[in-house]
């Protein structure tokens, strides 16, 4: 089989818990690129928070905000912001339940309370740099949302209709944080659009992930790998299980396919 695309989640997949990556991972990515494989980051992170990592790994293709935006070498492929009505409802829920929201646009991270200790911990955990206080004028350009300082039961308050669901952030230091996801906007849907755009079959694509926001992605490609450190619920959606991020799971998975 000739593979043409490789989709990589970032936190817990490329990045280890200390937000570094191994030289083995870097070499594995470079080896695939040298074979002509296009590598996409496929992450819940914001695009503006990936510039340094992308430059280090020579990656120019992105699925970000959990699938709400995708681009290849600057060409926009997917651009699906949240509706203003949904954001207004989320803000009201947060206010009444002592939650905070982090809202992501193409340019900045906006938070309902930058001074809250839980928010500062979240910012430090992910090394977020472009942070500002939320203002209503961004409500038409929000591509991603994370609920902070929430418990599992009341996180589901954000599932305001069948299109919305929450997924716990699977990163140490970000406990009690939940990404707000949409059934019609996710990493898998973005990959479907990319495959169609470039006339590539699912069997020619590989993906690695560790969180429940990766399940659609792993199901969409021909070779889906759940990291050894993945959420237990994710393994049912993956064709393969590889080693942990600390044990170079990306490289071990690519070896299994005979690509290294």
Q: Given this model, what pLDDT does residue 33 score?
A: 98
Q: Given this model, what pLDDT does residue 211 score?
A: 92
Q: How far apart are the first and last CA of the chain?
A: 14
Question: Is the per-residue pLDDT at 133 higher than 90?
Answer: yes
Q: Tokens 């929000």 label which residue?
A: 142
Tell which residue, 134, 137, 139, 131, has the closest CA to residue 109: 131
Q: Given this model, what pLDDT does residue 172 score?
A: 84
Q: Given this model, what pLDDT does residue 159 score?
A: 97
Q: Residue 74 and residue 84: Cα distance in Å, rounded? A: 26
Q: What is the tens place of the pLDDT at every residue in 62-84?
A: 999 999 999 999 999 999 999 99
Q: Given this model, what pLDDT does residue 173 score?
A: 85
Question: Is the per-residue pLDDT at 238 higher than 90?
Answer: yes
pLDDT (mean) for 205-221: 96
Question: Is the per-residue pLDDT at 10 higher than 90?
Answer: yes
Q: Given this model, what pLDDT does residue 1 score?
A: 83
Question: Is the per-residue pLDDT at 186 higher than 90?
Answer: yes
The pLDDT-based confidence of 39 (bands split at 50, 70, 90) is: very high
Question: Is the per-residue pLDDT at 61 higher than 90?
Answer: yes
The pLDDT-based confidence of 9 (bands split at 50, 70, 90) is: very high
Q: Given this model, what pLDDT does residue 4 score?
A: 98
The pLDDT-based confidence of 51 (bands split at 50, 70, 90) is: very high
pLDDT (mean) for 50-55: 95
HEC string of the chain?
CCCCEEEECCECCCECCCCCCCHHHHHHHHHHHHCCCEEEEECCCCHHHCHHHHHHHCCCEEEEHHHCEEEECCEEEEECCCCHHHHHHHHHHHHHCCCEEEEECCCCEEECCCCCHHHHHHHHHHCCCCEEECCHHHCCCCCEEEEECCCHHHHHHHCCCCCEEEEECCCCCCCCEEEEEECCECHHHHHHHHHHHHCCCHHHEEEEECCHHHHHHHHHCCEEEECCCCCHHHHHHCCEECCCHHHCHHHHHHHHCCCC
What domains appear along the chain, each with residue ranges and CATH number?
A: 5-79+185-256 (3.40.50.1000), 84-182 (3.30.1240.10)
Give the gyration radius of the chain's Cα atoms. 17
Phi, psi of 154 (to 5 degrees): -85, -5
Q: What is the tens place of the pLDDT at every residue in 136-178?
A: 999 999 999 999 999 989 999 999 999 999 999 988 888 999 9
CB burial class (10 A; 0-12, 13-18, 19+) of residue 133?
Answer: exposed
Q: What is the tens place of the pLDDT at every residue in 109-120?
A: 999 999 999 999
Task: Kindly tell me the sign of the dihedral angle through the C-alpha atoms of 254, 251, 62, 105.
Answer: positive
């Amino acid at each position: 089989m000739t593979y043409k695309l490789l989709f990589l989640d970032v936190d817990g997949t490329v990045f280890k818990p200390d937000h570094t990556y191994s030289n083995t991972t870097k070499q594995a990515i470079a080896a695939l690129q040298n074979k002509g494989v296009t590598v996409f980051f496929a992450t819940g992170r914001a695009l503006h928070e990936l510039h340094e990592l992308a430059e280090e790994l020579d990656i120019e293709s992105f699925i970000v905000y959990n699938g709400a935006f995708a681009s290849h070498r600057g060409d926009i492929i997917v651009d699906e912001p949240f509706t203003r009505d949904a954001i207004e409802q989320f803000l009201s829920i947060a206010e009444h339940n002592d939650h905070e929201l982090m809202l992501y646009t193409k340019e900045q991270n906006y938070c309902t309370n930058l001074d809250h200790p839980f928010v500062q911990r979240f910012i430090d955990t992910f090394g977020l740099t472009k942070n500002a206080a939320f203002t209503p004028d961004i409500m038409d350009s929000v591509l991603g949302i994370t609920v902070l300082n929430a418990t599992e039961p009341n996180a589901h308050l954000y599932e305001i209709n069948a299109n919305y669901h929450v997924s716990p952030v699977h990163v140490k230091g970000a406990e009690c944080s939940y990404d707000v996801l949409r059934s019609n906007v996710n990493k898998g849907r973005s990959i479907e659009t990319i495959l169609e755009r470039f006339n590539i079959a699912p069997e020619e694509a590989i993906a690695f992930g560790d969180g429940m926001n990766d399940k659609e992605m792993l199901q969409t490609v021909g070779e889906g790998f759940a990291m050894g450190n993945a959420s237990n619920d994710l393994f049912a959606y993956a064709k393969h299980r590889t080693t942990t991020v600390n044990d170079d799971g990306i490289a071990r998975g690519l070896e299994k396919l005979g690509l290294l």
